[in-house]
C-alpha cells in the first residue's frame, strides 16, 4: 500500500500552493489560484450535501477539458464520492448506459452534450448540472421522497435557457458563511477520510476490442502514479502544463491533471479538438515545462513539417557531408524544440507505441523525449524512464512499485504476453466478475494482452497486441502494428490498418487527401502510387509480412480517445 493517502495529497497540495496559479482555460483571460479552486470545491461540497450525496455515491462527469471539469472531479473525490468520468466521444446511448450501470446519483455535463441526451433514459441520476456554470439542468427520478435532493426545481423557459444558478444561490452562500464564519483559508481545507484501499473512480474504457468496461481505480493506484511523478521530478510548482489529452482518459487525467495539480503546476486546459495547428500555437504562447502526448500528435508534426524537408534532394546532399550534417540536424532540433515552446524538459509519449522512423530521427537529433507504457487498468503507468535514461525502442523501465513477467514466450524471440502486478493495478471491473477473472488471475497478476519482452534492466519492449497478432501460414508471428508503422511513413498515406483476408495480408489505407489535392493526384495515379508503396514496403519487411494488396479507405479510421484505431470495426471489411 502506498504510504501517502490519495485524498491527503490534495489537501497538502492546496495548502502548500495556495497563492499559486492553478487552472486556466486556454483562450480565456481568467486564472484560478489554488485558493480559488479550493473555495469552489467547498461550494460544490455544500451542493452535494443538498443533493444528499453520501460517501461512495457515484457522480458522473462528461464534457470538454476545462477548469470546471477539473474542479468537479476534485470536489467529488475529496467529498468521499466516487467519480465516473465519461469520455465526451461516447455516444448518447453509451452515456445513458454508463450512468445507469454505475448507478450515478448526479451528472455534470457540458451543455453541448446534454442537449443530445434523453432524460427518460436515466434510471439512477437525481439531478443534472451544467459544467458551464453549475446551473441545474434537470431534476430526475424523485419517486422516493426520503431520498429526494433538496435543490429546487430549475426555472427555465426551455432547456437552452436556464435562469437559476444553484452554485450562487442565497442558500449556498448562507450555508458557506455558516460553515466558514471566519472566512475561507488554508486550514479550512479538510477533506474526506478515505483509505487508499477504497474505490475513488470508475473509468469506462473505450478499448479497441469494442466493449466498454468500468475500471474500478483505488486511491492507492492513483497515489502510486502521483507519488512516482514526484519521485522522478516529472513536474514541479509553477510548471506550465498544456492539458489537451482527454481528461476522462487515464493518461491525461493522471498526469496532465492530478499529478500536476498536487505539485502546484499551472494547468492550461484546451477544450477544442487538439489539432497540430492549435497545439503548436498553444505551445508557443504557454511554453510548457513538460508535455504529455500521444504518438499521433508527434507523428503528424514530423510528417508535415520535418519529413518533407528531409526529402528534398538538396537536404539529402547536405546530410551526406560529415560535420555539416550535424550542424543541419542541430538546426532542425532547435526548430523542433522551439515549435513545442522551447522551455520543456521532455515530451512523454504514451498511449501507443511511437513510430519507429520518428523515434530513430528523434534519437539522431538528440530530441528530449521518452516513451512510457501503461493502461487504464493501471491508472495508467506501468513503465517510464526519463529522457536521459530512456533506452531506444523500449517503453521505459518498469516502475519500482510494480512487478512484471512474460508468459508463454516465443522460444525464438522471447516475446510473450506481459503480465504485471503491484500498487497501480485496478481492483477489477465494476459489476463484471467474469471480465475481471479473465484479466486478473488469483495471484494478482494482470494479463495486459500486450506482447513484448523485458530485458535484464527491466526495460519493457512492446511488439503488439495479443488479439491483433496474426499467425502466418508458415507459423511466423506477424505484428500488424509494425508493418503499419512503416507504411504510414510512405507518400500519400495518412494512416493504415493491416488485416488478414483469405489467408493473405491486406492493408487498408486512408490516403493523405490534403497532399493528394495539393499535388492534383487523380484516382488512377493514386492507385498506382499506392502500388509503388506496396512494392517498397514488401522490400523492407520479412517475406511473411508482405502485403498482397492495398485497399483505399475513404475516411479516417474510427479511433478511441487515445487515438488507437478501433481495429475490430475493420477486421471484416470486404
Q: What is the mean pLDDT of residues 4-8?
A: 98
Place of cell 464534457: 63
Among the listed residues 297, 300, 306, the one whose alpha carbon sits nearest the alpha carbon of residue 274: 297
User: Is residue 406 very low, low, confident or very high in pLDDT (cuts 50, 70, 90)?
Assistant: very high
Output the pLDDT for position 562.
Answer: 67
Buried b (16+ CB within 10 A) or exposed e, 531-568: eebbeebbeebeeebbbeebeebeeebeebbbbbbbbe
Q: Where are the beta strands (DSSP E) in 166-293?
A: 199-204, 214-218, 240-243, 266-269, 291-293
pLDDT at residue 572 in the model: 57
**What percent of the chain is helix, strand and coil (3-state, nearest 5)?**
35, 25, 40
Q: Summarize the confidence of residues 176-191 as an average pLDDT.
A: 95
Q: Which three cell numbers stand for residue 552?
A: 483505399
Q: Residue 417: name the closest of 450, 462, 389, 442 by CA.
A: 450
312, three cell numbers: 528534398
Band (148; pLDDT cuts 50, 70, 90): low
pLDDT(318) > 50? yes
**Which class would CATH give 472-569?**
alpha beta
Strongest mean pLDDT among 8-17, 133-142, 315-324:
8-17
CA 164 to chain centre: 34
**Top-confidence range, 10-24, 293-307, 402-416, 554-568:** 10-24
Helices 356-364 and 480-487: angle between axes, nearest 10 degrees: 60
- Whole-number pLDDT of residue 128: 95
In the DSSP assignment, the letter for residue 288 is: -
**Which region, left, alpha or beta, applies to residue 534 given φ > 0 means left and ψ of -120 to 50 means alpha?**
alpha
Q: What is the distance between the alpha carbons of residues 128 and 148, in angstroms, rounded to a whole number?
A: 14
168: pLDDT confidence band, cut at 50, 70 and 90?
very low
pLDDT for position 317: 87
Cα dihedral 164/165/171/173 (nearest 10): -150
pLDDT tens sequence across 359-370: 999 999 999 999
- Superfamily of domain 269-465, CATH level 4: ANL, N-terminal domain (3.40.50.12780)
pTM of the model: 0.85
Within 10 angstroms of residue 30's Cβ, the number of other Cβ atoms is 9
Residue 137: partners with Cβ closer than 8 Å, 6 or more residues away: 109, 114, 128, 129, 130, 154, 159, 162
DSSP state of 87: -
Cβ neighbours for 15, distance < 8 A, ≥ 6 positions apart: 186, 187, 189
- CATH topology of 6-194 equal to that of 269-465? yes
Query: Has residue 17 got a pLDDT over 80?
Result: yes
pLDDT in tens, 487-539: 999 999 999 999 998 889 999 999 999 999 999 999 889 999 999 999 999 99
Instruction: Average the pLDDT over 467-496 and give the result.
Output: 86
Cβ proximity of 525 and 314 under 8 Å: no
For the chain, the first-to-last Cα distance in angstroms comes to 50
Give the pLDDT confidence of 240-265 residue by residue, as tens digits.
Answer: 999 999 999 999 999 999 999 999 99
pLDDT grade for 147, boundaries at 50, 70 and 90: low
Domain boundaries defined on the chain = 6-194, 269-465, 472-569
Higher per-residue pLDDT: 517 or 475: 517
Q: What is the band of 303 on the pLDDT scale with cuts at 50, 70, 90?
A: confident
**Which residue's C-alpha cell is 508527434?**
298
Of 465, 539, 548, 449, nearest in space to 506 by CA: 548
What average pLDDT is seen over the chain? 90
**pLDDT higher than threshold 80 for residue 9:** yes
* pLDDT value at residue 113: 93
The confidence band for 198, taking pLDDT boundaries of 50, 70 and 90, is: very high
Does 101 score more than 90 pLDDT?
yes
pLDDT in tens, 411-457: 989 999 999 999 999 999 999 999 999 999 999 999 999 999 999 99
pLDDT at 144 exceeding the cut of 70: no
Distances from the Cα of 372 to the Cαs of 140, 225, 351, 488, 559, in angstroms? 43, 13, 8, 21, 20
Query: Three cell numbers at 544?
Result: 511473411
Q: What is the pLDDT of residues 48-60, one digit of tens each?
A: 998 999 999 999 9
More confident residue, 81 or 169: 81
β-strands 58-62, 31-33: how paired?
Answer: unpaired
- Between the alpha carbon of residue 416 and those of residues 245, 352, 420, the distances in Å are 30, 18, 13
Please check whether residue 154 is in contact with residue 138, taking contact to mean a CB–CB distance below 8 angstroms.
yes
Residue 436, C-alpha cell as written in the block: 475481471
pLDDT tier, 174 (very low <50, low <70, confident <90, very high otherwise)? confident
Tell me, which fold does domain 6-194 have in CATH?
Answer: Rossmann fold (3.40.50)
348: three-class secondary structure by DSSP: strand
How many helices (H) and strands (E) are present in the chain, helices listed first? 19, 28
pLDDT band of residue 171 (cuts 50, 70, 90) is confident
How confident is residue 347, by pLDDT bands cut at 50, 70 and 90?
Answer: very high
Report the percent of the chain where pLDDT is more than 70: 93
CA-closest candidate to residue 390, choices 414, 366, 417: 366
Provide the CA 353 distance to its chain's centre, in angstroms: 14
Confidence of residue 170 (pLDDT cuts 50, 70, 90): low
Q: What is the mean pLDDT of residues 253-280?
A: 95
CA torsion 54→55→58→62, rounded to 10°? Answer: 100
Q: Between helices 34-50 and 6-16, what is the axis angle to 10°?
A: 130
pLDDT above 90: residue 159: no
Amino acid at each position: 500500500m502506498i504510504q501517502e493517502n490519495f485524498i491527503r495529497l490534495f489537501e497538502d497540495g492546496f495548502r502548500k500552493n495556495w497563492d499559486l496559479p492553478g487552472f486556466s482555460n486556454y483562450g480565456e483571460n481568467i486564472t484560478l489560484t489554488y485558493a480559488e479552486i479550493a473555495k469552489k470545491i467547498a461550494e460544490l461540497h455544500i451542493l452535494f450535501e443538498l443533493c444528499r450525496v453520501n460517501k461512495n455515491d457515484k457522480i458522473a462527469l462528461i464534457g470538454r477539458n476545462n477548469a470546471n471539469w477539473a474542479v468537479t472531479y476534485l470536489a467529488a473525490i475529496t467529498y468521499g464520492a466516487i467519480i465516473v468520468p465519461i469520455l465526451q466521444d461516447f455516444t448518447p446511448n453509451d452515456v445513458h448506459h454508463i450512468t445507469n450501470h454505475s448507478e450515478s446519483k448526479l451528472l455534470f455535463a457540458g451543455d453541448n452534450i446534454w442537449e443530445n441526451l434523453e432524460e427518460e433514459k436515466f434510471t439512477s441520476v437525481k439531478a443534472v448540472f451544467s459544467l458551464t456554470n453549475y446551473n441545474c439542468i434537470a431534476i430526475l427520478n424523485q419517486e422516493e421522497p426520503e431520498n429526494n435532493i433538496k435543490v429546487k426545481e430549475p426555472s427555465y423557459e426551455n432547456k437552452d435557457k436556464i435562469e437559476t444558478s444553484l452554485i450562487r444561490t442565497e442558500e449556498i452562500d448562507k450555508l458557506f458563511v455558516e460553515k466558514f464564519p471566519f472566512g475561507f483559508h488554508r486550514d479550512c481545507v479538510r477533506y474526506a477520510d478515505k483509505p487508499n484501499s477504497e474505490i475513488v473512480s470508475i473509468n469506462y474504457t473505450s478499448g479497441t476490442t469494442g466493449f466498454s468496461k468500468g475500471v474500478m481505480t483505488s486511491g492507492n493506484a492513483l497515489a502510486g502514479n502521483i507519488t512516482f511523478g514526484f519521485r522522478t521530478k516529472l513536474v514541479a510548482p509553477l510548471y506550465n502544463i498544456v492539458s489537451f489529452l482527454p481528461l476522462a482518459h487515464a493518461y491525461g487525467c493522471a498526469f496532465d491533471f492530478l499529478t500536476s495539480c498536487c505539485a502546484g503546476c499551472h494547468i492550461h486546459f484546451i477544450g477544442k479538438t487538439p489539432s497540430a495547428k492549435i497545439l503548436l500555437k498553444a505551445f508557443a504562447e504557454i511554453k510548457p515545462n513538460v508535455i504529455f502526448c500521444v504518438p499521433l500528435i508527434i507523428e503528424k508534426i514530423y510528417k508535415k513539417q520535418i519529413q518533407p524537408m528531409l526529402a528534398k534532394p538538396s537536404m539529402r546532399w547536405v546530410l551526406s557531408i560529415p560535420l555539416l550534417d550535424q550542424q543541419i540536424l542541430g538546426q532542425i532540433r532547435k526548430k523542433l524544440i522551439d515549435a513545442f515552446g522551447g522551455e520543456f524538459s521532455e515530451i512523454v509519449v504514451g498511449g501507443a507505441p511511437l513510430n519507429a522512423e520518428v523515434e530513430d530521427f528523434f534519437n539522431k537529433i538528440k530530441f528530449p523525449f521518452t516513451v512510457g507504457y501503461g493502461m487504464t487498468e493501471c491508472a495508467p503507468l506501468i513503465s517510464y524512464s526519463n529522457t536521459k535514461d530512456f533506452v531506444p525502442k523500449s517503453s521505459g523501465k518498469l516502475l519500482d512499485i510494480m512487478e512484471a513477467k512474460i508468459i508463454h514466450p516465443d522460444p525464438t524471440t522471447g516475446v510473450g504476453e506481459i503480465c504485471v502486478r503491484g500498487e497501480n493495478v485496478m481492483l477489477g471491473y465494476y459489476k463484471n466478475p467474469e471480465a475481471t477473472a479473465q484479466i486478473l488471475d488469483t495471484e494478482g497478476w494482470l494479463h495486459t494482452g500486450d506482447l513484448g519482452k523485458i530485458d535484464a534492466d527491466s526495460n519493457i519492449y512492446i511488439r503488439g497486441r495479443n488479439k491483433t497478432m496474426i499467425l502466418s501460414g508458415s507459423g511466423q508471428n506477424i505484428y500488424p502494428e509494425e508493418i503499419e508503422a512503416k507504411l504510414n511513413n510512405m507518400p500519400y498515406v495518412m494512416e493504415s490498418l493491416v488485416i488478414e483476408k483469405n489467408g493473405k495480408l491486406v492493408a487498408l489505407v486512408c490516403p493523405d487527401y490534403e497532399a493528394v489535392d495539393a499535388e492534383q493526384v487523380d484516382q488512377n495515379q493514386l492507385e498506382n502510387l499506392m502500388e509503388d508503396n506496396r512494392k517498397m514496403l514488401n522490400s523492407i519487411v520479412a517475406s511473411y509480412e508482405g502485403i498482397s494488396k492495398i485497399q483505399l479507405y475513404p475516411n479516417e479510421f474510427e479511433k478511441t480517445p487515445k487515438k488507437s484505431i478501433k481495429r475490430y470495426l475493420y477486421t471484416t471489411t470486404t
